[in-house]
Amino acid sequence: MGPTPPEDQLHVHIVPWGPSPHAARAAATAALEHPGVRSELGDAESRLLSVVPVSRLGDPEAEPDHVRATVYDYTNERALIVEAPIESQTHASVTSTVRQPLPSRDEFAAAVAAVQADDDLGAPLRDGRLVAYRPMPPVVVEELEDGRVERTIAVGLRPAAGNGKDHEIVGVRAAAGELRRFENRAPRGAIALDEMCGLPYTQQETVEEGEAGAAKITVTRGGELLWSFVAIRPAASSGTNGSGIELRSVSYKGKRVLRGAHVPILNVRYDGDACGPYRDWQWEEGMIQANGSDPAPGFRLCTAPAKTIFDADTDLGNFLGVAVYVDGDEVVLVSELEAGWYRYISLWRLGADGTIKPRFMFGAVENSCVCNVHHHHVYWRFDFDVVTSAHNAVREFNDPPLQGQTSRWHTLRHEIRRANRPGRKRRWRVVNRVSGESYTLTPGPEDGVRDNFGVGDLWALRRRPGAQIDDGVSFTEDLNQARAHLDRFVNGNSIYDTDVVLWYAAHFTHDIHGDQDADEHHGHIVGPDLVPGGW
């Protein structure tokens, strides 16, 4: 086959959307000087951990108008959440919580510096015999006798020689910079053994939580508008833990498809609970190889396909953010995510024919935990607006038909959790009852089988404005908390002729010793296809 004629090529146009990183940081800095915030902090030792742009309007088409800054008060062992407008400095709200936020880049660096000053571990870390890395869990949470939680940052120490001898995970009490060592060389929920698995860890730079970056993207071919949407970089994505590359206001050929789509929930459990379980985060971007121009902060329009850790088998890169490129008849958006030693790929493929392919990939760099069999679960949230936000309905396909049914398709009338049944070729369709257009969600061939920790496969819900973006659970090692708590959203409400949301889960079992096709990472990629009908 020859090259694609110019008139048949896809053309991508990207412009910035929302506040710049500088504007968001400036608003947060001003908010921290507000009298109400200064009064709450007093003379406490504190550190700004993150700045996240947010919208108070709850409208996906509305640009963020506020910032949410997280400050840790080490003196009183609490986090302060400060919200303030971006455009003015007239007011700021502040609330206190004992929930432990994830460590920032600077906070982890301070913890490493404390280890370097230790009489025992400092010398091998300073001279390079030991290499510091960010482990799981990132924070060691233990309640004090008075009910407070003393913030302790976990620091992994691995031998530079590549074997596991002297491998250890320590804790640093952030308030005092004191080192804490654990029995069996690691805190609860982790292990540090001689054996380590995964690709080499390269200490690459990552992004700070909340780093602003969003873009309005249009895709055309031969002068025809195919796709129009807003893309949010993972660092600025919504939800308690971020949600990977987030799409909003997605339209195909001028008709609305999705109000929003993202991955707000991601968790993992090990056989025998050898480590974890963990509820992971989806905002921390890692480096990828991407060449091209940067039309918006955090977005690179590439001249060739970007390469992640899965393509290059290396944890190195030259870009943090979302790479966008054309691959035949598809436009691809891809970003690499980090959570401790885990490496995840958040990817979307938008086809010229209207097909949307959300994809997620799983990997890791050197550590002891992933030598054990473990099970990842990823949960997409699809807020459908097929043509309109109203008049949508959800139908389910089964072949052979369900008992008592004469048709392979039947309508789901009320909020419900459904299981994926490959033996019935089960899939789901959101249809506009008035105009007839639809989108069908078909499970991917590698989307796996849920276990008791995985909870479910699909939830069909009525949309509630400003609610149910996720289940509100932050990073945790608690088994019951780490599960996805989506059943709480199933309240028996009608999902017929209204505004609907589908949550869809895929499940991946990672057996690093049993991978038969490791070079191609076959089976490490999960995700459904969303296919239009009647467009």
| Residue 391 and residue 328 share a domain | yes
Residue 50 in any domain: the answer is: yes
| Residue 312 and residue 171 share a domain | no
| Residue 320 and residue 181 share a domain | no
Full DSSP string of 10-43:
EEEEEEE-S--HHHHHHHHHHHHTSHHHHHHHTT
Q: What is the pTM of this model?
A: 0.95
Residue 52 in any domain: the answer is: yes
Asked if 170 contacts 157 with a C-beta cutoff of 8 angstroms, the reply is yes
Asked if 510 contacts 374 with a C-beta cutoff of 8 angstroms, the reply is yes
Distance CA 232, CA 237 (A): 6
Distance CA 13, CA 218 (A): 5
Instruction: Pick the last residue of a domain from 136, 164, 185.
Output: 185
- CATH number for 280: 2.70.98.20
Full DSSP string of 159-221:
ETTSS-TT-EEEEEETTTTEEE--GGGS-TT----S--BSBPP-----PPTT---EEEEEEEE
| Residue 172 and residue 233 share a domain | no
Residue 152 in any domain: the answer is: yes
Per residue of the chain (535 residues), give pLDDT as tens. 456 666 789 999 999 999 999 999 999 999 999 999 999 999 999 999 999 998 876 666 788 999 999 999 999 999 999 999 998 777 899 999 988 999 999 999 999 999 999 999 999 999 999 999 999 999 998 777 787 789 999 999 999 876 657 899 999 999 989 999 999 999 999 999 999 999 988 888 899 998 999 999 999 999 999 999 999 999 999 999 999 999 999 999 999 999 999 999 999 999 999 999 999 999 999 999 999 999 999 999 999 999 999 998 888 999 999 999 999 999 999 999 999 999 999 999 999 999 999 999 999 999 999 999 999 999 999 999 999 999 999 999 999 999 988 899 999 999 999 999 999 999 999 999 999 999 999 999 999 988 889 989 999 999 998 788 999 998 887 888 999 999 999 999 999 999 999 999 999 999 988 764 444 555 599 999 999 999 9
| Residue 297 and residue 180 share a domain | no
| Residue 289 and residue 383 share a domain | yes
Those residues with Cβ within 8 angstroms of residue 154's Cβ, 6 or more apart along the chain or in another chain: 134, 135, 136, 137, 138, 139, 140, 169, 170, 171, 187, 190
* Number of other residues whose CB lies within 10 A of the CB of residue 311: 14
Instruction: Pick the last residue of a domain from 40, 64, 97.
Output: 97
| Residue 134 and residue 76 share a domain | no
Please state whether beta strands 356-364 and 525-526 pair in parallel, antiparallel, or not at all (unpaired).
antiparallel
3-state helix, strand, coil in the chain (%, to 5): 10, 40, 45
Within 197-349, residue ranges assigned H as helices are 309-312
Residue 399 in any domain: the answer is: yes
Q: Tokens in use for 8?
A: 């048949």
Please state whether beta strands 78-85 and 130-133 pair in parallel, antiparallel, or not at all (unpaired).
unpaired
| Residue 92 and residue 116 share a domain | no
| Residue 311 and residue 412 share a domain | yes
| Residue 430 and residue 492 share a domain | yes
Nearest to 387 by CA among 533, 261, 186, 287: 533
Instruction: Print the domain residue range for 278.
Output: 214-533
| Residue 126 and residue 88 share a domain | no
- DSSP class of residue 101 equals P
Residue 425 in any domain: the answer is: yes
| Residue 453 and residue 321 share a domain | yes
Instruction: Pick the last residue of a domain from 97, 120, 139.
Output: 97
Q: Tokens in use for 440?
A: 């069908």
Q: State how many domains the chain has.
A: 3
